[in-house]
């Protein structure tokens, strides 16, 4: 696989809309995990309750990665690798939703893994179609 195939896309408005929606979602959630005390505590609690390793590293690095991948998706440059990173994050999020049974640790979302699974489905579409309309990948591909 070469760089050109990672950027290949068409003027797909659905892909562009999904990409921009995910960009906003990840910039917001990453930022909130870092700056909103209630959400930072819930995020930390999720990590502890799920038994995932490297709690302190994950507590700080995952939100930073979410913000970064949100900006990458917003620009639409290398959308497929960004979508693959999001799928990895959301796979772990699905696991957390399944094993953590304390609803107070999910203050702004259902405790069932509805959101992570929906995000994975959207990212699969981006893997298939690319960044779509309004993406830097589309400008490079033309």
What does the pLDDT look like over 33-65, one tens digit per residue? 999 999 999 999 999 999 999 999 999 999 999
Q: What is the pLDDT of residue 67?
A: 98
- Quick one: pLDDT at residue 25? 98
Domain boundaries along the sequence of the chain: 10-141
Give pLDDT, residue 2: 80
Tally Cβ neighbours within 10 Å of residue 136: 17
pLDDT band at 1 (very low <50, low <70, confident <90, very high): low
Secondary structure of 52-118 as H, E, C letters: CCCHHHHHHHHHHHHHHHHHHHHHCCCHHHHHHHHHHHHHHHHHHHHHCCCHHHCCCCCCCCHHHHH
Q: Which residue has the higher pLDDT, 17 or 142?
A: 17
Q: What is the mean pLDDT of residues 66-72?
A: 98
User: What is residue 6's predicted lDDT score, i.e. its pLDDT?
Assistant: 87
Q: Give residue 142's pLDDT.
A: 59
- Quickly state the pLDDT bin for 140 (edges 50, 70, 90): confident
Six-digit token string for 98: 């399944």
Q: What is the pTM of this model?
A: 0.95
Distances (CA, A) of 17 to 4, 24, 76: 22, 11, 11
Dmax (CA) for the chain in angstroms is: 49
- pLDDT tens figures, 90-137: 999 999 999 999 999 999 889 899 999 999 999 999 999 999 999 999
Judge contact between 101 and 87, C-beta under 8 A: no
Cα distances (angstroms) measured from residue 79 to each of 68, 82, 120, 141: 12, 5, 14, 13
Q: How far apart are CA 64 and CA 62, in angstroms?
A: 5
């Amino acid at each position: 696989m070469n760089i050109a195939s990672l950027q290949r896309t068409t003027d797909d408005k659905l892909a562009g809309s999904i990409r921009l929606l995910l960009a906003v979602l990840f910039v917001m959630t990453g930022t909130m995990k870092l700056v909103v005390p209630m959400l930072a505590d819930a995020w930390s609690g999720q990590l502890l309750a799920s038994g995932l390793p490297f709690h302190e590293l994950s507590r700080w690095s995952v939100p930073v990665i979410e913000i970064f991948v949100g900006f990458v998706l917003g620009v639409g440059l290398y959308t497929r690798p960004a979508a693959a990173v999001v799928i990895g994050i959301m796979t772990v999020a699905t696991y957390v939703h399944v094993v953590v049974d304390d609803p107070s640790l999910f203050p702004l979302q259902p405790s069932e893994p509805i959101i992570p699974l929906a995000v994975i489905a959207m990212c699969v579409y981006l893997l298939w179609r690319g960044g779509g309309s309004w993406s830097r990948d589309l400008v490079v591909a033309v």
